[in-house]
């Protein structure tokens, strides 16, 4: 665990609650490398867990209440440990409450606790600060009130060793936690997201790409080439609760329905073209994006295996064009960032990452040209938009612990 994040969360805890927290967990944010809006279509997606985190320091308390304090918001939030209601004044706490409600529903027993939340994942940048908060919540409750979730439900809780430490959750438990956190977001927060963000935060691996098959829910890791991953945040906030995301999902689902399949994963591009007349234009566009994007992930994984970084970069550009023209979840700022990136000789590929409608781009840049790329992006974007951006170099890290 990075001493810095750990220390910040502990220090916030001590400042607010005036004693030391024994348990600390942290969950990384994620970047979607390739595969835009494929997850809820049971498709394929490549993701990276990156070195920006939500870290939570916590300790039980005896009055049956839960109190949350965050480094990013002024007011703390207090509620009974068995009552999970939204507070419009503290929407950030919904991700915690939604996760607690799901744990409660599955029979996980917990009582009151204090928690201090420290975050370094930029909010609204499409790097999944919300999923990281859900995952950190589920894991901190596991540390405070040990539980083990399996596909069949709760089973014998893990036992602490002599030093009080729990064994880390197995891959099977991690997958159940990912599903639980996704349910929190679907049911409590109200975003019909897929499972990409939660899996990425839980299954990250240093220096590796996470290859996720969202139909079989199988997760594999592949080495990520030593090129630089650079995020450019457009500065336009990305607000999934805004509804556009759910609309896209609905269009994909109605397209699948009209094509007589359970999900768009089962549709091949020639079949889609042959049956185009069955769909509205919007359904066709969404289905065309998803089918093409899934094919790109297959081809992209092959390119990475063959160390063909240039080819992989082309797929990233193509992915952006498909999101922009077919899915239509880009913005003028994201399009501009991708075009400016393309002008730089060190840039292999660039695309929007995550839900879209604002947020950030992910750029694959030749390692030795990373510093020059950052200067180019800052100057060119400032010239065009009069906004100073701070591109971030991201490292791939292990999943939540």
Residue 102: in which H helix or E strand, if any? helix 94-105
Cα 212 to Cα 223: distance, rounded to the nearest angstrom: 14
- Coil, strand or helix at 358: coil
Count the alpha carbons within 13 Å of 325 in the hemisphere toward its beta carbon: 9
Site for ligand GLA in 121-150 (CB under 6 A): 128
Determine, following the binding rule CB under 6 A, whether residue 194 of this chain makes contact with ligand GLA: yes
Q: Which of 9, 12, 25, 37 binds ligand GLA (CB under 6 A)?
A: 37
Query: Nearest distance from residue 366's CB to ligand GLA, in Å?
Result: 26
Pairing verdict, β 113-119 and 65-70: parallel
Cα 272 to Cα 259: distance, rounded to the nearest angstrom: 8
Determine, following the binding rule CB under 6 A, whether residue 197 of this chain makes contact with ligand GLA: yes
Determine, following the binding rule CB under 6 A, whether residue 193 of this chain makes contact with ligand GLA: yes
Query: Nearest distance from residue 312's CB to ligand GLA, in Å?
Result: 18
Q: Which of 40, 95, 147, 312 binds ligand GLA (CB under 6 A)?
A: 40
Other Cβ atoms closer than 10 A to 356: 23
Main-chain phi, psi angles of 336, to 5 degrees = -65, -45
Residue 183: in which H helix or E strand, if any? helix 171-184
Determine, following the binding rule CB under 6 A, whether residue 313 of this chain makes contact with ligand GLA: no
Determine, following the binding rule CB under 6 A, whether residue 94 of this chain makes contact with ligand GLA: no
User: Of the ranges 6-14, 29-37, 77-85, 318-326, which one interacts with ligand GLA (CB under 6 A)?
Assistant: 29-37
End-to-end, the C-alpha distance of the chain in Å comes to 8
Query: Nearest distance from residue 186's CB to ligand GLA, in Å?
Result: 10
Query: Nearest distance from residue 253's CB to ligand GLA, in Å?
Result: 13
Query: Nearest distance from residue 64's CB to ligand GLA, in Å?
Result: 33
Q: Which is nearer to ligand GLA, 315 or 373 (CB)?
A: 315
Q: Which of 29, 98, 300, 355 binds ligand GLA (CB under 6 A)?
A: 355
Q: Which is nearer to ligand GLA, 194 or 349 (CB)?
A: 194
| Nearest one of 102, 99, 168, 172 to 130, comparing CA atoms | 99
| Nearest one of 391, 389, 359 to 32, comparing CA atoms | 359
Torsion of CA 296, 298, 300, 305, to 10 degrees: -170
Q: Which is nearer to ligand GLA, 47 or 340 (CB)?
A: 47
Main-chain phi, psi angles of 73, to 5 degrees = -130, 145
Determine, following the binding rule CB under 6 A, whether residue 283 of this chain makes contact with ligand GLA: no
Q: Nearest-5° angle of CA 6, CA 9, CA 12?
A: 145
Q: Which of 5, 8, 39, 283 binds ligand GLA (CB under 6 A)?
A: 39
Main-chain phi, psi angles of 66, to 5 degrees = -115, 130
User: Of the ranges 32-40, 73-81, 110-118, 371-379, which one interacts with ligand GLA (CB under 6 A)?
Assistant: 32-40
Active-site annotation holds for 197: yes
**Which residues of this protein are in contact with ligand GLA, per CB under 6 A?**
32, 36-37, 39-40, 128, 193-194, 196-197, 354-355
Q: Which residues are catalytic?
A: 197
């Amino acid at each position: 665990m990075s001493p810095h994040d750990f220390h910040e969360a502990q220090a916030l805890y001590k400042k607010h609650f005036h004693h030391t927290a024994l348990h600390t967990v942290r969950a990384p944010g994620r970047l979607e490398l390739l595969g835009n809006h494929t997850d809820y279509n049971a498709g394929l997606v490549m993701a990276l867990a990156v070195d920006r985190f939500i870290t939570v320091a916590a300790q039980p308390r005896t009055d049956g209440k839960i109190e949350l304090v965050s480094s990013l918001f002024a007011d703390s939030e207090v509620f009974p440990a068995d009552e999970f209601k939204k507070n419009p004044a503290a929407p950030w706490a919904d991700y915690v409450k939604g996760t607690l409600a799901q744990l409660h529903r599955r029979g996980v027993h917990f009582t009151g606790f204090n928690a201090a939340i420290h975050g370094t994942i930029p909010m609204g940048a499409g790097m999944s600060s919300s999923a990281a908060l859900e995952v950190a919540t589920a894991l901190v409750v596991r540390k405070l009130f040990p539980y083990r979730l399996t596909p069949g439900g709760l089973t014998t809780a893990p036992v602490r060793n002599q030093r009080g430490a729990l064994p880390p959750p197995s891959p099977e438990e991690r997958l159940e936690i990912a599903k639980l956190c996704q349910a929190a977001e679907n049911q409590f927060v109200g975003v019909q997201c897929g499972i990409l963000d939660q899996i990425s935060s839980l299954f990250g691996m240093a220096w590796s790409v996470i290859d996720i098959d969202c139909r079989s829910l199988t997760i594999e890791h592949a080495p990520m080439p030593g090129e630089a991953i650079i995020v450019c945040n457009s500065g336009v906030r990305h607000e999934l609760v805004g509804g556009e995301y759910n609309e896209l999902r609905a269009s994909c689902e109605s397209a699948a329905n009209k094509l007589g399949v359970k999900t768009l994963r089962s549709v091949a591009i020639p079949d889609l073209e042959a049956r185009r007349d069955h769909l509205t234009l919007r359904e066709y566009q969404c289905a065309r994006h998803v089918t093409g994007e899934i094919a790109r992930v297959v081809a992209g994984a092959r390119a990475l295996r063959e160390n063909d970084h240039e080819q992989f970069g082309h797929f990233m550009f193509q992915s952006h064009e498909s999101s922009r023209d077919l899915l239509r979840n880009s913005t003028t700022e994201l399009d501009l960032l991708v075009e400016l990136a393309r002008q730089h000789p060190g840039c292999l590929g660039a695309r929007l990452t995550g839900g879209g409608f604002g947020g950030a781009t992910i750029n694959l840049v030749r390692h030795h040209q990373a510093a020059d790329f950052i200067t180019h992006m800052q100057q060119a974007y400032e010239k065009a938009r009069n906004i100073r951006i701070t591109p971030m170099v991201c490292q791939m890290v292990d999943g939540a612990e």
